């Protein structure tokens, strides 16, 4: 039970925190946003008009993208039914905010979208290019025969189709913006790399900084979700290389190196931390097509090692019962956590094992938690994390458990003393 609850709580917290941070960033940039109301309603808590709720729920449940709903508003006079909301659409390793406006009073009317002011010239309904193209009706960059023209409010899958159509058009729009830039290096990069599947590009422009172009390059064509047994991830996990090029319009000055960074979703962290990967240096005059193969190979070995490390961690957890008894709880998928109950005389305490992704190269971090000593707030007293006990990755697994057990036999006396000192004296 406890373990179930813990698993559910963990993925929810980072996502909600990132929503709020995006929200605050967005409203600072956009002066025309209506002032936030009373407590910002979490998604779906307001009574969304039934037909609209069906569309929205379908969208969130079935989209392969991790979409999020920001604020939900009511547009009718009495304000009883919400019919408009902010949709956070993942794009190019960031979120773009689109306001989706339905009309609760006229549920058959298809939704309208308000794009942020920085995408002022993104007009999905307008044919791009010249008028001839429009007459032929073959303009690539606009919704000509879309889910919008034959909108059916009774079919809950329409909003999903529409959002994906619009996102594709937005991708096209960003690509076009970058192609129009007068930068020889970017032109070259785009011509060599843009055929790669899943790549996304966008312009980063702000008032006080020079323009930049961001590439989000998906790395490794292996399915990370399939590498993990009983994989809990709902969305497809990918590791991306984020490359940010400064825009150079003059040909004379030598273009500076781009800023590069590996990015993955926070969910992937329980398997593999991209922060631990050391990126190969970007040499002068290098292009992405040269840089990527080397990096991918390197990364692939590390990911496979990380997957192998799950097996090692599982063995370690399975070896715990011989000395510690059955763990109270353990992470069965990534085997990153286990907790055991230990008794020494009359002193009862818990030992939390936090097992790093690089196990057995790195040793588990131990935290002791007393079952008998509480601080002034009423929470059990915890020891600081312990990771300086004797350790060798070359020991066999039962040996590791034995050494930890031996270490704890001594350490528990120190911890008991620490508890007694920390606990407020009760007279």
SS3 118: helix
Task: Tell me the C-alpha distance between 92 and 281, whole Å.
Answer: 23
Residue 179 in contact with another protein, rule: CB under 8 A: no
Residue 407 in contact with another protein, rule: CB under 8 A: no
Residue 137 in contact with another protein, rule: CB under 8 A: no
Task: Tell me the C-alpha distance between 193 and 217, whole Å.
Answer: 9
Residue 120 in contact with another protein, rule: CB under 8 A: yes
Out of 25, 40, 50, 64, the only residue in the binding site for another protein (CB under 8 A) is: 50
Q: How far is the CB of 83 from another protein (least distance, A)?
A: 8
Task: Tell me the C-alpha distance between 262 and 357, whole Å.
Answer: 17
- Asked if omega into 360 is within 30° of 0 (cis), the reply is yes
Residue 292 in contact with another protein, rule: CB under 8 A: no
Q: How far is the CB of 48 from another protein (least distance, A)?
A: 10
Out of 70, 90, 127, 360, the only residue in the binding site for another protein (CB under 8 A) is: 127
Q: How far is the CB of 148 from another protein (least distance, A)?
A: 5
Residue 103 in contact with another protein, rule: CB under 8 A: yes
Task: Give the nearer residue to another protein in terms of CB position, either 84 or 337.
Answer: 84
Task: Tell me the C-alpha distance between 293 and 240, whole Å.
Answer: 13
Could you tell me which stretch among 2-10, 110-118, 292-300, 351-359 binds another protein (CB under 8 A)? 110-118
Question: Which DSSP symbol is given to 342?
Answer: E
Chain length of the chain? 427
Residue 129 in contact with another protein, rule: CB under 8 A: yes
Residue 126 in contact with another protein, rule: CB under 8 A: yes
Helices 158-179, 50-62: crossing angle, 10 deg rounding: 60
Out of 110, 246, 258, 327, the only residue in the binding site for another protein (CB under 8 A) is: 110
Question: Which DSSP symbol is given to 392?
Answer: -
SS3 87: strand
Task: Give the nearer residue to another protein in terms of CB position, either 118 or 296.
Answer: 118
Task: Give the nearer residue to another protein in terms of CB position, either 90 or 124.
Answer: 124
Q: How far is CA 101 from CA 44, 83, 159, 315, in A?
A: 15, 7, 12, 53
How many residues form the binding site for another protein (CB under 8 A)?
Answer: 52
Site for another protein in 67-86 (CB under 8 A): 73-81, 84
Residue 203 in contact with another protein, rule: CB under 8 A: no
Tokens for 46, please give them. 């307001």
Q: How far is the CB of 165 from another protein (least distance, A)?
A: 12
Residue 363 in contact with another protein, rule: CB under 8 A: no
Residue 226 in contact with another protein, rule: CB under 8 A: no
**Are 292 and 219 within 8 A, CB to CB?**
yes
Task: Tell me the C-alpha distance between 214 and 288, whole Å.
Answer: 12
Residue 113 in contact with another protein, rule: CB under 8 A: yes
Task: Tell me the C-alpha distance between 26 and 214, whole Å.
Answer: 19
Task: Give the nearer residue to another protein in terms of CB position, either 36 or 385.
Answer: 36
Out of 2, 38, 253, 377, the only residue in the binding site for another protein (CB under 8 A) is: 38
Q: How far is the CB of 163 from another protein (least distance, A)?
A: 12
Site for another protein in 51-70 (CB under 8 A): 51
Task: Tell me the C-alpha distance between 90 and 68, whole Å.
Answer: 9
Q: How far is the CB of 78 from another protein (least distance, A)?
A: 7
Residue 99 in contact with another protein, rule: CB under 8 A: yes
Residue burial 238-263, b: 16+ Cβ < 10 Å; e: rest: bbbbbbebbbbeeeeeebeebebebe
Q: Which long-range contacts (CB under 8 A, 24 or more apart) does 246-253 make?
A: 246/210, 246/211, 246/212, 247/181, 247/183, 247/186, 247/210, 247/211, 247/212, 247/213, 248/183, 248/184, 248/185, 249/181, 249/182, 249/183, 251/184
Q: How far is the CB of 176 from another protein (least distance, A)?
A: 10
Task: Give the nearer residue to another protein in terms of CB position, either 35 or 378.
Answer: 35
Positive/negative CA dihedral, 251, 256, 257, 258: negative
**Are 136 and 104 within 8 A, CB to CB?**
no
Task: Give the nearer residue to another protein in terms of CB position, either 125 or 222.
Answer: 125
Out of 15, 30, 266, 361, the only residue in the binding site for another protein (CB under 8 A) is: 30
Task: Tell me the C-alpha distance between 353 and 86, whole Å.
Answer: 41
Residue 146 in contact with another protein, rule: CB under 8 A: yes
Q: How far is the CB of 149 from another protein (least distance, A)?
A: 6
Interaction site with another protein (CB under 8 A): 30, 32-35, 37-38, 49-51, 73-81, 84, 99, 101, 103-110, 112-117, 120-121, 123-131, 143, 146, 148-149, 151
């Amino acid at each position: 039970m406890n373990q179930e609850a813990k698993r559910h709580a963990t993925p929810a917290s980072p996502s909600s925190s990132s929503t709020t941070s995006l929200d605050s960033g967005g409203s600072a940039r956009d002066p025309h946003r209506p002032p936030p109301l009373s407590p910002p309603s979490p998604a779906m808590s307001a009574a969304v008009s039934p037909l609209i709720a069906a569309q929205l729920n379908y969208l969130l449940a079935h989209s392969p993208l991790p979409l999020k709903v920001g604020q939900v508003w009511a547009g009718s006079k009495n304000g009883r039914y919400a019919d408009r909301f902010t949709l956070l659409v993942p794009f190019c390793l960031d979120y773009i905010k689109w306001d989706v406006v339905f009309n609760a009073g006229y549920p058959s009317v298809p939704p309208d979208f308000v794009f942020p002011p920085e995408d002022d010239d993104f007009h999905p309904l307008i044919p791009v290019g010249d008028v001839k193209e429009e007459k032929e009706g073959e303009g690539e960059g606009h919704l000509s025969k879309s889910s919008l023209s034959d909108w059916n409010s009774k079919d809950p899958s329409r909003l999903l189709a529409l959002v994906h159509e619009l996102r594709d058009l937005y991708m096209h729009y960003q690509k076009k913006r970058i192609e129009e830039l007068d930068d020889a290096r970017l032109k070259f990069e785009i011509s060599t790399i843009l055929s790669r599947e899943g790549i996304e590009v966008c312009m980063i422009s702000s008032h006080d900084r020079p323009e930049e172009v961001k590439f989000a390059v998906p790395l490794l064509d292996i399915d990370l979700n399939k590498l993990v047994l009983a994989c809990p991830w709902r969305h497809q996990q990918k590791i991306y290389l984020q490359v940010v090029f400064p825009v150079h319009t003059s040909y004379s000055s030598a273009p500076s190196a781009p800023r590069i960074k590996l990015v993955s979703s926070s969910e992937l962290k329980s398997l593999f931390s991209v922060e631990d990967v050391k990126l190969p240096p970007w040499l002068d005059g290098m292009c992405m097509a040269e840089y990527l193969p080397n990096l991918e190979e390197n990364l692939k070995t590390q990911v496979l090692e990380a997957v192998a490390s799950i097996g090692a961690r599982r063995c370690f957890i399975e070896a715990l019962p011989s000395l510690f008894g059955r763990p109270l709880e353990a992470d069965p998928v990534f085997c990153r956590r286990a907790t055991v109950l230990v008794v020494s005389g009359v002193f009862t305490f818990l030992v939390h094992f936090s097992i790093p992704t690089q196990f057995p190269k790195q040793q588990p971090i131990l935290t002791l938690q007393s079952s008998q000593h509480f601080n002034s707030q009423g929470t059990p007293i915890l020891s600081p994390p312990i990771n300086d006990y004797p350790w060798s990755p070359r020991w066999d697994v039962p040996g590791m458990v034995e050494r930890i057990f031996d270490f704890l036999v001594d350490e528990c006396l120190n911890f008991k003393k620490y508890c007694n000192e920390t606990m407020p004296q009760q007279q």
